[in-house]
A and B are shown apart, each in its own frame.
Chain A
Amino acid sequence: MTEVVIAGIGQTSVGEHWDTSLRELAFSAIEGAIKDAGGLRPQILIVGNMLAPILSKQAHLGGYVADFCGLTGIEAISIEAAGASGGAALRQGYLAVTSGMVDAALVIGVEKFTDMVGSDIETALSTSSDNDFESVHGLTLTAQAALLMCRYMHEFDVPRDGFAGFPLVAHTNGARNKNAMFQKAIKPETYIKASMISEPVNMFDAAPYADGAAAVVLTRCELLPEDFPHPLVRIASSATASDTMALHDRHQPLVFSAVRLSVERALVHAGLAREQINLFEYHDAFSIFAALSLEASGFADVGQGWTFARDKTIAQNGKLPCATFGGLKARGNPGGATGVYQAVEATLQLRGQAGSNQVSFANVAMIQSLGGPAATAVTHILTKIG
């Protein structure tokens, strides 16, 4: 199997892009990625997107994006896995290149939340849950996170401000990321006083949904241009796993089994040990997801994930830096684009191009994209070459 390297990366800022359509947003990131890759032309385009068919009344995004970006004629498809759509699209790009079937793959994650406003967005998001037995009861994704957080705090005696460290660290890092939606650090007092969205999830426990597009070009080493200007970054491994669709069907609701499985598979495939991971871009759509991801990924013991926030283990200079560019909480949560933003950010870290967000000795990065409360988990491990 062929080694897959990241030839180019591109991203738009994450925010409310009222003036920009779905097409234009995608093009912006794609243009950046192809230029960064020295003009390398892909044979396949994979679009990661969650909700365009509902929010923009636009499906069939493979053809849609390829057409607008001047790539008509190439293989183009769209991949959906709820919030993990970006990670899942990246995996498809990886499979295409590692199989040797294509020379270069272009992966684009794009989402436009602002094509609708208000309760229609919550309704669209609830398509990530089991419609017949979860959404019909008025359950939102935020309410699902709240059910997990309520039970977790009860079982493990977590104080009311136990999760504050997650948004605090995210915002501190986001403040240095010019593409982040929120570029302002927050104070601990702000967390305690924040209003509830779905008790106990408050405004700072939930990442903001926003528009954004991020793209990567994947290829094999020999096809990189002679004068390729960047340190080489490879996708060392890639793994996807699934869990029961509905939260109520979980064997142990507080254990993200799909995360555990995908991490185990990714580590084995990369031939790496957990201790070798220098930074972790987790799917902090909600602070409880960050805690549960740290546990299921094997970094924290069960019931201890929240202490990584309390003790600032996840800070830029901590033992396991997370959300290094702000994470979903501060960089923003552009739905299906998120997984690809994580790949772009991890690549910047491994290339040493992360500026004031740079994590020291960044050689191995783990990125992880979740669909729903981890009914789907996609984990990638990226490493620096040489």
Chain B
Amino acid sequence: MEVPRHWRLKQQRYNLTGEICPHCEAKIFPPRDICPTCGEEAKSLYTFSGRGEVYSYTTVYEAPSGYDQDSPYTVALVKLEEGPMVTAQLTDLGDQPVEIGTPVEMVTRKLRSDGDERGMLVYGYKFRPALRA
């Protein structure tokens, strides 16, 4: 049960909170203390909108332990509209085929269970096709 590790990351996992660089205005996710664009110190928090589009995707048939109950599942590289890219599962796909460029939006879902009934549930971001009004 890796409670401390997951607890530390809850702002990122539930909220998509990253950073904005005060020097060059680059948006950073996940947070890191040095801006990857300009190399200066970046520690100001920034919460992303959760909107993005699919950069690439794949359906996983041979899952690691802890994920086999949900397999097959689709995992993707999602380019957030503010710039950074994240790795996440796609969910609520229904019969819709995924394509590169499909607009998606963030939702909070269970990522995995830690084995037995008394194990920890890990929640975090997944992305679903953006719902049209």
- Chain A positions near chain B (C-beta within 8 angstroms): 118-120, 122-123, 125-126, 132-140, 142-143, 146-148, 150-151, 154, 196-201, 244, 246-249, 253
Contacts and interface: CB of A to CB of B under 8 A. Distances in A.
B58 A198 contact: yes
Interface string B90-121: 00000000001000000000011000000000
Given A133-B87, A137-B88, 6 more contacts: A125-B64, A132-B30, A134-B87, A136-B122, A147-B56, A147-B76
A136 B88 CA distance: 9
Contacts of A197: 61-62
B52 to A, nearest CB: 11
Contacts of B66: 123
Given A133-B86, A246-B87, A138 B60 contact: yes
Contact of A132 (B5, B55, B59, B76): B5
A147 B64 contact: no
Contact of B85 (A118, A135, A249): A249
A120 B62 CA distance: 11
Given A140-B62, A198-B59, A253 B9 contact: no
Nearest to B36: A249
20 contacts: A119-B64, A119-B67, A123-B66, A133-B86, A133-B87, A134-B87, A135-B64, A136-B111, A136-B122, A139-B75, A139-B87, A140-B62, A147-B57, A147-B75, A197-B62, A198-B58, A201-B58, A247-B77, A249-B84, A253-B77
A154 B64 contact: no
Nearest to A130: B87
- Count chain B CB atoms within 10 A of each CB in A123, A125, A249 and give the residue with the most: A249
B63 interface: yes
Contact of A120 (B12, B65, B86, B89): B65
Given A137-B124, A139-B87, A248-B77, A151 B63 contact: no
B91 to A, nearest CB: 11
A249 to B, nearest CB: 7
Nearest to B71: A138
Nearest to B9: A132
B70 interface: yes
